[in-house]
Amino acid sequence: MSTTFQIDTSTSRANPTPAPMKRLTVPKIRARKTDGETGEPLVMLTAYTARQAQLLDSHCDLLLVGDSLGQVIYGLPSTVPVTLDMMANHAAAVVRGSYHAVVVVDMPFGSYEASKEQAFESAARLMKESGAAAVKLEGGEQMAETVAFLTQRGIPVMGHVGLTPQAVNVLGGYAARGRSDAEADKIVGDAEALDRAGAFAIVIEGVVEPIAIAATEAVSCPTIGIGASARCDGQVLVAEDMLGMFERVPRFVKKYEDLAGIIEKTAAKYAEEVRARRFPGEDQTYQPKA
């Protein structure tokens, strides 16, 4: 049995409810790509809370607890200040709120780059404290040895190449990568190195489309695009971007809803009713029993 959570409307608290074990596994995700082909593309979205996980879980193959929570949840200027504590706490909430998708948690900046031993210690902590099934780390060929080290010790790893947000200070911004021949060759080479090292999937972010396609065709594991190509083996977006929670989003985001507008409109209606003393009404108050 697995555990998912539903809202108890009498208390507004999440309470555990047994659900049949339907959670996908890392090997099943890896097996979606066979002989270089993926029949049904993988669906991945970010999730940072239990309730968000509940709503997204049945529609996704993977839920990514991304270090993008630094900007989305905490209002930080980049992902660089995100800590292991933040990632572990939010990942645990997402695991509690889901029962179907594979939960992958980002390893934050500074938690894995120093050595493969540091990476193992950080990844083991994240998986122990959260129950997540896998970790994700940024970097290509230079991280291949670390990926192999983790994989050989029972920690599934998702790679991340192309535009790597944790390296924004080195890259000088968030511009698309792969426009020069040298950079394009490096991106494909990075993906191949991670594939050989045992990564079960690789995120390709912010890469010009022909290079994303070339990288996808060059590796045996699934690729998951974000600002890459529909010909990647799957896609991921930050859920809040896709839902229209922010006015400014990257070029590659498609807004499927204007959730920010709905929230603002609803808050305005609530404020109007409070100020006019129309809320709370009889239905929202406790009256003396007759």
pLDDT in tens, 157-203: 999 999 887 766 555 555 676 688 888 999 999 999 999 999 999 99
Q: Which residue has the tokens 């930080």?
A: 76
CA proximity to 52, closest of 238, 187, 265: 238
Residues in the chain: 290
Instruction: Name the DSSP class of 104.
Output: E
22 residue type, one letter? K
68 is in an annotated binding site: yes
Question: Please, what is the Cα angle at 213 between 165 and 158, to 5 degrees?
Answer: 45
What is the residue-averaged pLDDT of the chain? 91
Give the rounded distance of the alpha carbon of 235 from its chain centre: 11
Domain extents in the chain: 22-242
What residues pair up with 105 in beta bridges, in sequence order? 65, 135
pLDDT in tens, 227-257: 999 999 999 999 999 999 999 888 899 999 9
- Please count the other Cβ atoms lying within 10 Å of the Cβ belonging to residue 214: 17
pLDDT in tens, 258-270: 999 999 999 999 9
pLDDT in tens, 62-107: 999 999 999 999 999 999 999 999 999 999 999 999 999 999 999 9
**Ramachandran quadrant class, 6 (left: phi over 0; alpha: psi -120 to 50; beta: rest):** beta
CA distances from 90 to 50, 138, 227, 243, 283 (A): 8, 19, 25, 20, 35
pLDDT in tens, 221-231: 999 999 999 99
Residue 186 contacts by C-beta under 8 Å, 6 or more apart in sequence? 140
State the catalytic residues: 205
- What CATH number has the domain spanning 22-242? 3.20.20.60
pTM for this prediction: 0.91
